[in-house]
Amino acid sequence: MTDIPLHFRSIGEVSTMLAEGKTSSAELTELCLARIQVHANLGAFLAVDAEGARVQAKAADERRKAGKSLGALDGIPIAHKDMLCTQGIPTTAGSRILEGYVPPYDATVVKRWKDSGTVLLGKLNQDEFGMGSSTENSAYGVTRNPWDVKRTPGGSSGGTSAAIAAGLCFGATGTDTGGSIRQPAALTGTVGFKPTYGRVSRFGCIAYASSLDQVGPVARTVQDAGLLLQALAGFDPKDSTSIDRAVPDYSAALKRDVRGMKVGIPREFMEMPGLDPEVAAAVEGAVKALEKLGASVVKVSLPHTRFAGASYYVIAPAEASSNLARYDGLRFGPRREPPKASLRDVYELTRGELFGAEVKRRILLGTYVLSAGYYDAYYGRAQKVRTLIARDFEDAFKSVDVIACPTTPTAAFKLGEKTQDPVQMYLSDVFTLSCNLAGLPGLSVPCGFTTSKLPIGLQLLGRPFGEEALLQAAHAYEQSTDWHHQHPELP
């Protein structure tokens, strides 16, 4: 595919070009920095560290000349979602309450990519504290979908998905609490990979809902996603939820075909109200393609799926209410302190003015469901439903290797279309929530386009620590199509 512009090449391709001396990290970095500036209207980046990136690129090129390359990711320009702490680079989580905050340390995942030789271009836009499905809740402006700038790139990792789709960087991190990696990947025609809870460290990731949050990569191809995850995954003693379990060679999974693999199709997902017929047809076509490649299709049932949304929107706000209590304007971020103000006045003014509407909505909801007299009726019951959802998946995986379904009910919707109706916005994640509640790995891979030329995503879900099976199935499907070779028409 030599006709593909350099900025739309995969990490695998540019890594080979670097090894063969056909390009340099400095050239790739300057290309990305130029495109970030040209396509600033997309609103993908919140901070750009151009000089730092140039220094890192120069170091990568010098290592390669000296025969000391750090591997496939050495010299590859990447970016991080603004939910991740980056030493010396502003980190705001998309919120005014953290405006101007510069962390004194790197998140573990930031350090791991840095140790792999990646070149950090900057930080990516997101919904405030990860609370949203369209990146319209950012305090620093909306992010636009490169396929249609009047539409959302999804959220909360909208800056991440838009940057990859537009060729502004070659790989990026996202965080996924209820679908925030997979949903924007589906809406932008990219590959989004949410690992098993505990597979990737959360140390240095600003918390939204601690039992649901997970960090993962967004990339152009399944192979790239595997390369990026390989560098991220692994035990971290700094994260109490990190699992001490060996990380397999994900590249090996890409070499296996899907003959004999059993793919489960959940009836409840395919019959979900609001599923766009074009999305359903594309997903059904993808499943048929897997069948032609040798996989067998098995119908499965996930009966408690219909309660996933209600359960999630009790548990996540409850945890957010607790996690966001630390933001008081006293330790970091700006403060609102009128003359003769009491401590309570400072709290109320700072939090009231600097938190966005959606964040305040979820804090109020979370505080309510945790309050005396309501805890058992709401939070306690939601946790019981969460257990039932996890058991549904356990039962399903007794007969299948992976589960296939839509990533989103529709393609990208217009900016402003759902901002006045929070419930409709929440339904954008109807197919992704249960994965987080059960702590499973999930991957979204492009599987077609609507008649309006908007991307559609196929979601694959796996057993706990079953990332290999997802990569195996997704890569086999991807290689049988050309969806990953299609890119938005940008100047």
Does residue 201 carry a catalytic annotation?
no
The arithmetic mean of pLDDT across residues 216-241, rounded, is 98
Start-to-end CA distance of the chain, whole Å, equals 20
Q: What was the pLDDT predicted at 165?
A: 98
Rounded to an integer, what distance in angstroms lies between the CA atom of residue 283 and that of residue 215? Answer: 26
Asked if the model's pLDDT at residue 346 lies above 80, the reply is yes
Average pLDDT over residues 240-257: 97
How many other β-carbons are positioned within 10 Å of the β-carbon of residue 48? 19
Query: Contact 199/185 with Cβ under 8 angstroms?
Result: no
Report how far residue 392's alpha carbon sits from residue 361's, in angstroms, rounded to the nearest whole number.
31
- Specify the pLDDT at position 155: 97
| CA 336 to centroid of chain Cα atoms | 33
In this prediction, residue 396 has a pLDDT band, given cuts at 50, 70 and 90, of very high
Q: Which pLDDT tens digit goes with each residue over 196-211?
A: 999 999 999 999 999 9
| Residue of 156, 161, 321, 434 with catalytic role | 156
CA gap 219, 227 in Å, rounded: 10
Q: 244 pLDDT band (50/70/90 cuts)?
A: very high
Strands 402-406 and 455-462: antiparallel
pLDDT for 341: 81
Averaged over 168-175, what is the pLDDT?
A: 98
CATH code given to domain 6-259: 3.90.1300.10
Average pLDDT, the chain: 96
Model pLDDT, residue 2: 61
User: What is the per-residue pLDDT across 362-386, written as a single tens digit (0 to 9) for each?
Assistant: 999 999 999 998 999 999 999 999 9
Per-residue model confidence as pLDDT tens digits over 20-78:
999 999 999 999 999 999 999 999 999 999 999 999 999 999 999 999 999 999 999 99
What are φ and ψ of residue 28, in 5° steps?
-60, -40
The active-site residue, picked from 15, 116, 161, 180, is: 180
Distant-in-sequence, close-in-space partners of 436: CB < 8 Å, separation ≥ 6: 176, 177, 178, 179, 194, 197, 212, 214, 312
Residue 353, CB-side half-sphere exposure with 13 Å CA sphere: 15
What percent of the chain has pLDDT above 90? 93
CB 188 within 8 A of CB 410: no
Which tops the pLDDT comparison, 373 or 175?
175
* 144 pLDDT tier (thresholds 50, 70, 90): very high
Lowest mean pLDDT among 20-34, 145-159, 219-233, 418-432: 418-432
**Secondary structure (3-state) at 131:** coil
Say yes or no to pLDDT of 343 above 60: yes
pLDDT at 1 over 70: no
| CA nearest to 223, candidates 474, 487, 23 | 474
Compute the average pLDDT of residues 349-353. Answer: 93
pLDDT digits (tens, 9 = 90+) for 90-129: 999 999 999 999 999 999 999 999 999 999 999 999 999 9
Give me the residue label for tokens 């140390």.
203
Its pTM stands at 0.97
List pLDDT tens digits, range 295-328.
999 999 999 999 999 999 999 999 999 999 999 8
Average pLDDT over residues 182-194: 98
* Tens-digit pLDDT profile for residues 416-466: 999 999 889 999 999 999 999 999 999 999 999 999 999 999 999 999 999
pLDDT at 335 over 70: yes
Q: What is the mean pLDDT of residues 221-232?
A: 98
- Between the alpha carbon of residue 474 and those of residues 66, 144, 240, the distances in Å are 36, 27, 31
The answer to whether 74 and 60 have CB atoms below 8 angstroms apart is yes
How much is the average pLDDT of 3-8?
94
Is 156 one of the annotated active-site residues of the chain?
Answer: yes
151-178 burial: b if 16+ Cβ within 10 Å, else e: bbbbbbbbbbbbbbbbbbbbbbbbbbbb
418 is catalytic: no
Separation between Cα atoms, residue 155 and residue 95, nearest integer Å: 15
The one catalytic residue among 10, 15, 25, 81? 81
Residue 422 token pair: 């929070």
Return all residues near 255 (Cβ < 8 A) that are at least 6 apart: none
Q: Indicate the helix (H) or strand (E) that contains 193.
A: strand 191-194
Q: For strands 77-81 and 455-462, give the pairing.
A: unpaired
Which phi and psi angles does 334 have, rounded to 5°? -70, 165
Domain ranges in the chain?
6-259
